[in-house]
Structure 1
Amino acid sequence: MGQGSLRTLIRYFLLSNPLSLSLLRGLLLVMLISLSSGTAAFAKDMTSRLGIGYSNQLYNNVPSVKTQYYPSREIGLSAALGIDSGDTNSKFGLLVQIRRIVFEEPNMNFYMGGGGGLISQKVSTTNESGYELMATFGAEFFFSGLENLGLTFEAGFGVVSISSEVRFRTIAHHPLNAGMIFYF
């Protein structure tokens, strides 16, 4: 499927299905509101903290190495890279996310955010590639005594466009999927 036919498919799907267009607009609105709202100032301050760990958040289920960085108290940036090479079965994923802390507790930060990435998978002789977009809310929590280890869980909605289809999906990641990050 070429790029022109993929664009035609996406346009047809979005324009012929008002519910999907409304869902996308709603997700964008929720993300914009969450990124502009205020937050309390008594929780774990992650400003200028860099972390590294793992996640398994991509649509094609490839385990990823993840980095997380907080340039400010309220904004977090992350990137995850997953590679599984093989002759007949291989997977690749690159996911970039932004989150905004909207509510803080002493050992937990609640956030909303979004992300996007590139995905590719090869099964036998069929190679499919595309992209993934997501809008999520979740929390990162820290145990007392292990203040540098963050565990994450999150939920939300996503859109996946891979060579053969466009899918809308719900997202529910527990700490073993959403990731575990050690902060320096």
Structure 2
Amino acid sequence: MKFTETPIRGAYVVDLEPRGDDRGFFARTYCAREFGAHGLRTDLVQGNLSFSRVKGTLRGMHYQLPPFGETKYVRCTRGALYDVIIDLRPDSPSYMKWHGVELTAENRRAFYIPEMCANGFYILEEDTEISYLVNQYYSPDHERGIRHDDPAFGIQWPGPVNLISPKDTSWPDYVATVH
């Protein structure tokens, strides 16, 4: 695997290093030793699958507060999406900055997202499926969110939002929640 740092401290794009022949290829998608060698969490405890039928669907921006803060390792297994994170760690040099990565079934790229980074994604193709691993179990009492269009961040999404949940449109402004 090839680990590429992003502008968000502790977030990495992870590309496969396929070994192939006439049959196709083999590649590791996760290796605790390689993750550990990069200082990344290896205590992933749960796998999740998200499926979106409609292009232009937006999910997010979600995170969980400590002690249930989640580290995520996200990969697109079908279709395509634009995955965005926002750094919510006040002690980070990239605090309140966002970064987006295109993940597709074709590029087989993954996104490693550290704890206390809000995560959301925009669906680029119909019938897109996302698989991700997390290091914490879901805790409804610790769940929080940020609106995808919160002016404090100015995220540039790749197209119009065609479908979003009422819950994701009702999160308060982030700045209002930290005062």
Q: TM-score, normalised by structure 2?
A: 0.25
Give the TM-score normalised by the residue count of structure 1.
0.24
Larger Rg: 1
Task: Report which of the two has the higher share of helix.
Answer: 1
